[in-house]
Amino acid sequence: MTGMRVLIVEDQVTLADDIADGLRDQGMAADVAYDGASGLEKALLNRYDVVVLDRDLPKVHGDAICAALAGASSEARILMLTASGTVGDRVEGLNLGADDYLVKPFAFAELVARLRALGRRSPATPPVVVKDDLVFDRARRRVSRGGRPVSLNRKEMGVLEVLLAADGSVVSAEELLERVWDENADPFTHTVTVTLARLRRKLGEPDLIETVVGSGYRLP
């Protein structure tokens, strides 16, 4: 699912970086925290769709982060990772507010499938989105306009997905940067502008994306 922003809180640095790189290859924006304290700070500061949370973390335990996010009414879904696969541990994690549970070691393909399933739980994002003659099949990652397939790269697809999800509301360049890219993106670059220009060109005429001067963009 493009348009997702994920936070990985994992103290095994190589594993955390491998997960983040793999998710970016899947078109997701991925941030990383290597201990519980920085993980909690990032989770409360930024808007994430899913937090991949190792349970046994230094500084602040994963259970405490899970409870804190649940108490803060965070919109992020929580996928808890643990080395222990006992039923008691799974139940305890879910009772703390986790939405899903994955036991180490795990297959990366399963992690991706779980993340996409969590991301689809929002009723505001149906599997197929139709806007005039534009059809966005989110499940198959396919876009067409007027019956013609439109080939988009991951960032272009992510921007389109965020605009469609806004359902006519204006989305600022800053929000697009936050939702489609990750914390390493430079907010002073023209990345969003360039991506939108390419997206508009690929979608063709008439232009579907409206620029609201001083505010952002929308699909009216």
Q: Output the pLDDT for position 113.
A: 92
Q: Could you tell me which residues come within 8 angstroms of residue 148 by beta carbon, excluding any fewer than 6 positions away?
A: none
How do residues 33-45 score in pLDDT, each as one tens digit?
999 999 999 998 8
For residues 133 and 123, which has the higher predicted lDDT (pLDDT)?
133
How do residues 136-157 score in pLDDT, each as one tens digit?
887 677 899 988 899 998 889 8
H or E segment at 54? strand 50-54
For residue 52, what are the β-bridge partners?
A: 8, 79
Q: Could you tell me which residues come within 8 angstroms of residue 40 by beta carbon, excluding any fewer than 6 positions away?
A: 60, 64, 65, 68, 69
Domains of the chain: 5-119 (3.40.50.2300), 128-218 (1.10.10.10)
Q: Output the pLDDT for position 141.
A: 78
Cα separations in angstroms, 63 against 82, 102, 175, 198, 203: 11, 14, 30, 43, 45
How far apart CA 157 and CA 142 sit, in angstroms, is 9
The model carries a pTM of: 0.60
- Note the residue count of the chain: 220
Q: Is the pLDDT of residue 68 over 60?
A: yes
Q: Is the pLDDT of residue 101 over 70?
A: yes
Q: Output the pLDDT for position 154.
A: 83
Check if the beta carbon of residue 141 is closer than 8 Å to that of residue 188: no
Backbone angles phi, psi at 136, to 5 degrees: -120, 105
Q: What is the mean pLDDT of residues 196-214?
A: 93
Check if the beta carbon of residue 78 is closer than 8 Å to that of residue 7: no
Q: What is the mean pLDDT of residues 61-65?
A: 91
Q: Output the pLDDT for position 70.
A: 78
